Amino acid sequence: MTRIAAALLLLGLAACQAAPPPPVRTRAAARPAPVVAPTTPVDGAWTFSVFADRCTARATHRDMSVILAAGPGERASLSVSAGNRIPAGAALRIGFRGAGGTWQLPARSDRRRLATAGWALDAAGQERIQDLLGGGTVTASGTGVGAPPLALPDAGVSGRDWFGCVSRLPG
């Protein structure tokens, strides 16, 4: 009887213990969906400014903007801004396609702009600026970029007048 009592006592103790927790099921971390840039261009509108030895042209749309700056000195830059942000320093490309030609520039991101590229303000650099002023499409591409292409209209007389500022810069 002692054996039976001991067995019952052990069974009673086992019944009083908490059941082991159910196995924890974890889901694999969901991968973020890749950012796909819209393919339909949005239309930009040009504005121009000249301040001392800096010539700036902007083509803007509510979803995206392009800033073309020349000077001071012998440098020009093209910056693309859009609503999305990507890590600073990410490797990107800014591309242009228009009647004046097709080209791409290596670019970098920073805290203020989606992508920025720079080049020398020599004859080839001035030709690139004239391409942009002649109209075409600017795109930013790279990992995480979701900016639409920006369709630039021909800058017309205002753009040609503004280019006079660029042509007076050293280069």
Question: Which CATH number belongs to the domain containing residue 122 in this structure?
Answer: 2.60.40
Burial class (CB within 10 angstroms; exposed 0-12, middle 13-18, buried 19+) of 61? middle
- Structural domain count, the chain: 1
| Helices and strands (DSSP H and E) totals, the chain | 3, 10
Residue 28 in domain: no
Residue 127 in domain: yes
Residue 129: strand, helix, or coil: helix
Looking at per-residue pLDDT, the higher value among 35 and 94 belongs to 94
Amino acid at 26: T
Give pLDDT tens digits for 27-80. 555 555 444 555 677 888 999 999 988 999 999 988 788 999 999 889 999 998
Cα gap 168→46, rounded to integer Å: 21
pTM above 0.85, yes or no: no
For 103, the domain range is 42-168
Give pLDDT tens digits for 130-151. 999 999 999 888 877 767 888 9
Residue 141 in domain: yes
